[in-house]
Structure formats: C-alpha cells, structure tokens
Amino acid sequence: MEASVEQLVYVREDAYTVARMSADGVPAFVATGRALAGVQPGETLRLLGDWSTHPRYGRRFAVTECERVTPSSVRAIRVYLGSGLIRGIGPRLAYAIVDHFGEHTLKVIDAEPERLTEVVNIGPLRQAQIVQAWQEQKAIAALMVTLQGLGVSPLLATKIYQVFGADADEVLATDPYRLIGRVRGVAFRVADRIALQAGVPERSPQRVRAALLDRLEAAGSRDGHCFVPVPALVREAAELIEQDHELVRPVVDALAAERRLVLETSPDRPEQVVAYPKHVHSRETALTAQLAALCRARSTLPLRSYDEDPALHDDQRAAVTMALTSTVSIITGGPGCGKSHTVKAVAATVRAAGGSVTLTAPTGKAAKRLSELTGMPAMTVHRMLAQQPDPDPETLFDERPSQADLVVVDEASMLDLHLATRLTAAVRPGSHLLLIGDADQLPSIGAGDVLADLLRVPAIPRVHLTHVFRQADGSGIVDAAHRVRAGRLPGLPGGGGFWFEELDDPAQVARRVAHLAMVAIPRKQGVPPGQVQVLCPMRKGETGATALGRLIQDQLNPAADDKPEHWSGATVFRVGDRVMPIRNNYDKGVFNGETGTVTAVVREERAIDIRTDDGETVRYGFDELDDLTHAYAISVHRSQGSEYPFVVAPIVAESGGIMLRRKLLYTLVTRAKAWVVLVGQREALELAVHRLGHPRNTGLPRRLTLALSS
C-alpha cells in the first residue's frame, strides 16, 4: 500500500521503527519494522508487509520492504512540505506554495525552482534556501537506499552526508574507511562491511592500515591510553580483520615511515616498542616541555611575605605555603578535607598582595561550584583559553585570565592530555599554576591521566589533605566515599545520606531506580524530580543510561498531540526535555556538562531551542543533535565535576560489569550532596569496591622526570 507517515512512535537503536500511518481508504494504522529506518513525518511510502495483531498493542502492519515515493495528492504534498523536512518551509508557507502550484508543487521545486518566487513571502534568498534543502533531502534519501543495500543502518545517511556532502557516494565506493572517526556511529566494523561489499580485498594494505589506526585510536577513546605496545596493536588489528600477524606487522612500520604513528621505546619496558598516534605523541612531548618551563621559571608572584592563617589545619597551611612558593604544585584530597577552603586562602593571600588570580575548572558546573565554595569568580578552562590577551600592555592581568599571577584548576583529574597541553601553553612563565583534584576519582574521558601522572613525578610539589572536618564527620556520603577509596565496603544498608537497596533482577532494578528518581525521593524530600539525578555505570543494557533515560523521559515527559517533538535517529527531543551538551561549542557559548530544557521545536528552521540553566536561549539545528544527550539518566563519566542534591544509581553486573571499578563507584558516591541511593546486586557492589582497573599507558611521568632532572 501507499501511505503517509503521520508520527514516529518509537525508534530503537538497531533502527526498528514504529510509526503511525495514514492511507486513502484505510483507517489510520501503525506500521513497524527495521525497513522503516530513517523515515520522517510527512514522507509518503510504498510499503510491503503483513497485517498482524499484537497481544498488547493491537493491529499493526509489519513492514518488510519500504520505498519512498513522491507525494501526489494536494493534501499529501501539503503535509510533506509542512512537516519541517525542507528547511525554510513551515506549515503556513507550505499551504501558500501548494495553494499556488497545486499537485504540480514538487515538480516545480525540483525542475523549475525559480518559479517559487511567484509565491508571496518567497524572495531570492528564501528560494535559494529551499532549493538547497530540497537537493540535500534528495541526496540523503538516495544515500539511505545505498546503505540499506549494503546492510548498514540507513540512520547513518544524514550523518554521512553532513560530513562528506556531495562526495558521500564516492567515499562509500572508493574508501569507506574514511568514515571512521569522522562520522559519529561509524566504527571499523561498519566501514569494513561497506568496504568488503565495495570489493576491497580482505588482505589489502588499505584494510590493514585502517584496522591498525582504528585500534590505535580506540585505545585512546575507549581506554584513555596514549600508546599501545606494538605486539598488542598487531594482535588486536589481526583479530579485527581475521588475518595473520605476518600480514599486519610490516604495515606498522609503513605507517611510522609516513608519520601516521610514532614508534618509541616503552617508558616502562626498554625492550619493548610502543606506538603512539601522531597527534597524541605531539601533545605529550609539548606538555612535557611546557610543564618543565613553568617549573623552572622564576616566580613573578608579587608576594614578599605572608601570615599563616591559624584557622587552617596543619596540612592546609602546608598546602598554602607550597602554592605560594612553587610555580607548579598540586593539592589533593577526598571529600570534606577542605580543598576549596585552602584554595580560597591561597587566592585571598595573592590578591591581598596586589596579584591577580584566575579560578578555573574543566566544566561549567565545576566552575560554578568552585565559585560558590570560594566566594570568588571562576570560569571554565575552555572559556579562559578562548579569551585572547588584550593588546593594551596597561591592561591588568585580570583581563587576561590565562596569564594571571595565580591560575588555579579545580577538578584537575578531568584534564586530558589535549586540554592540559592547551592550558600549560597559555600560562605565563613565572605565574603559579595550582592543580586541585582527587586522584581517586575517574580520570579524564579523553586520552591521558594528567593529574595521576604528575603525582608520579617526584620533583613536582604536592600536599595531600587528609583531615576530615567536623561538618563532614556525620555525613554518610563522606564516610561511604572514604571506605570505598580504602577498598572497604560501605556500611549496609547505610544511613546518614548513603543507602543501598538490594535487588537482583536488572529489569526490577531499572524500574526501582526510575521510581525513586521520579516519585519516591521527590515526594519524601518535597523537591521536583529535576533535583534527583540518575547516574549509570554503563550506557547500554537494561540499567544503562540510554534505556533508563528513555524510561524516565516517557513517564516524566511523554508524547502528546499538542507537544512538538523531533526524532534524531533513535532519540526523540520533546518540548520540556532536560538535555545537556556532550561537546563544547564556543560559538553557542555552551560547554560539556551544562544542562537546559527544550523550549521549542522550530520545524521551519529544522532546529530546537534550549533554555540553559543560566537563562540563555541556545538553538541547535537538527543536524547538530548528536552534540546533545538527555539528562534524565547520564553516565558517571558525564557527571564528573558536577554535584547533585540527590543521586540514584543502578549497581548491576550486566555484561560482566565491565565498568564497575573502585574509581567509578567513588566518583559516583561523591557526586551527591544530600542523598545517594544505590540499587542493585550486593556482589556487583563488592566487585566495584575491590576491582582497581588498569592504569593508562602514558609516557608523561618518565618524560617530565627526565626533563626536570637534566
């Protein structure tokens, strides 16, 4: 039958789609199946399939084949143009265009687009915009057909077109491996499937090179490693393409000769050779040189003497002295040990002497919390780096934040190699760089483990704060955190803000976590559900952030006929949704970890509007929605640098509990200010407490130790 898509009801990550449809002579019905992948409201489809009756959802049409067709009736054309598929055309303009051209509308847009200016409110600029959008939609639709024929999800078509544009077909035909790392959602296996279908031989050097580079980059993005031992790299690449090691090993040397990767002696095992991605090696060597220069520089701090604050604890006074006398230094410590109060004392001393101070943190929430705890302005590291120096030499350093007399970086465990390299390049030699952090928390999402690495360099001064202050003594959260850090199980079921509720079945755990977050805790504490944050050790699985987030979204902000929404792949964005960016966007002024609420779906502009928690309105195009995630349930990694009044988390050994490690559990527990409730399996909790995880492969400690000793 031929039918029009009225609304998407559900899209699964494997592209299984449920859609409400309408067709002439047939009552409105529901169609289902993977063949519907990528369809959008307003499109007309030719469907092949079978009618069936679901015991819960009733009569539906199971689609086995789906072909997009050009709408032919005036009504179908009006719905198609008014659906938001073509940027620049909204419902009102769609009505005007169809009213003018009738059933010939789409032929006019395709073959005689200059005639669009005959319609009121369409000038040359709008006409050009509509034509461009029309051509893009045609290209994406054709790309979907190509991908479906290759056995690849059509949901990737838009993403591929965004990156490669009109060259997308050529890339798919000649070098599909270019998709890896450039198109979100395309891993090696997807690109390899396309390449093999396109005729690339299984033993071709092109395929081997792609496998090696993929495994090398994955070691950084997946596990945070800066390098991989060559034997391990060869083994992993050979397993990936199911070929022998002898085919792979020579290609490593060829890539090194082309400077696509760098080979070096292992910093820990002199008999072993390791491979770095070129950009990672450049950053590690640059960071080493920059830190060595900062350490050796003569202090320019305008401070001749200072009075010790008797209100500080002994280790806090030692930390203040260190920060004021060392150009690079580190203060570490767990929750409740007075790190922020120590920072406040250091900053106040420098300012009292006439010096300038910049307080920073890697995320917006961490910077805001630092400002609240110290009573002084703070900014993200990214904002600091984005502010260019004023050309006026008379300008105070406060106007050039990266070149202040004292630069403080809180939550320094979140600094990856890339950000740390940019940061140290911006700090003026002679300024004091003070890193504040908790090395027992999760390391950065990106490659490197900068804070832990610097703590392995003996020449860098550090103070570890250990005294837990009285106001934290009665906190069950602080007590549980210190127990976890020491490798001991917290007292169960808990008390004083820390609670563990034992459940075994993952499905039950997911439902209980959702109920606690949406109903039980808000009711008991008299707070809105937005005050309760669900944190998940994993992204996938029944208790992962994706499934739990969708469960909570469907109950807190369900679909409604009067509520605008837009599906982007398997994710639906509705007015009222809580969302957060997962990438920094300097043009929009939003940064990773900030949160906001969807306030509008602007179909005519193919965009959604978000009101940030700071009160700013930001617009994201439909083609930018990969940069957003829902904030109903997020990974523990995404929560770094943030604190929430109430935290609920599933603790389940799904998929072997691969993410359950001590640092992850410790980070999770320390995100809560009032309550943290863990729900799940006791054996999974014990696994998380006792499993240490693997250290990251980095060369920074050895490089910097050698540089500072020479």
List alpha helices for 261-391, DSSP H.
Answer: 278-296, 314-325, 339-352, 364-374, 381-386
Contact 676, 533 (CB under 8 A): no
Beta-sheet pairing, 273-277 with 261-265: antiparallel
Q: Confirm or deny that 299 is annotated as ligand binding.
A: no
Beta bridge partners of 566: 573
Tell me the two tokens of residue 127. Answer: 């006409």
Residue carrying structure tokens 């490197």? 448
Dihedral Cα 505, 510, 512, 514, nearest 10 deg: 180
Contact 483, 644 (CB under 8 A): no
Beta-sheet pairing, 17-23 with 2-11: antiparallel
Q: Confirm or deny that 655 is annotated as ligand binding.
A: no
d(CA 408, CA 228) in angstroms, rounded, equals 32
Residues 6+ away with beta carbon under 8 Å from 566: 84, 572, 573, 601, 603, 608, 622, 625
Element (H, E) at 250: helix 245-257
Q: Confirm or deny that 339 is annotated as ligand binding.
A: yes
Instruction: Give me the DSSP letters along 303-323.
Output: -S-----TTS-HHHHHHHHHH
Write the burial class of residue 154 (CB in 10 Å: 0-12 exposed, 13-18 middle, 19+ buried). buried
Q: Confirm or deny that 336 is annotated as ligand binding.
A: yes
CB atoms near residue 254 (< 10 Å) = 14
List alpha helices for 448-577, DSSP H.
Answer: 450-455, 470-473, 476-485, 506-515, 521-525, 545-556
Q: Confirm or deny that 278 is annotated as ligand binding.
A: no
d(CA 139, CA 115) in angstroms, rounded, equals 22
**Residue type, position 76, single letter:** A
In sign, the C-alpha dihedral spanning 546, 549, 554, 557 is negative
d(CA 86, CA 96) in angstroms, rounded, equals 15
Contact 19, 7 (CB under 8 A): yes
Write the burial class of residue 121 (CB in 10 Å: 0-12 exposed, 13-18 middle, 19+ buried). exposed
Edge-first strand order for the sheet with 633-635 is: 494-495, 498-502, 672-680, 644-651, 532-536, 633-635
Contact 237, 249 (CB under 8 A): no
Residue carrying structure tokens 């007590």? 479
Residue carrying structure tokens 């919390």? 369
Beta-sheet pairing, 228-229 with 273-277: antiparallel
Please report, for residues 133, 134, 428, 429, 559, the alpha-carbon distance to residue 331 in angstroms, rounded to integers and kept in the order given.
54, 57, 21, 20, 48
Using alpha carbons, select from 509, 529, 510 the residue that is nearest to residue 578.
Answer: 529
d(CA 430, CA 328) in angstroms, rounded, equals 10
Residue list, annotated binding site for ATP = 336-340
Residue list, annotated binding site = 336-340
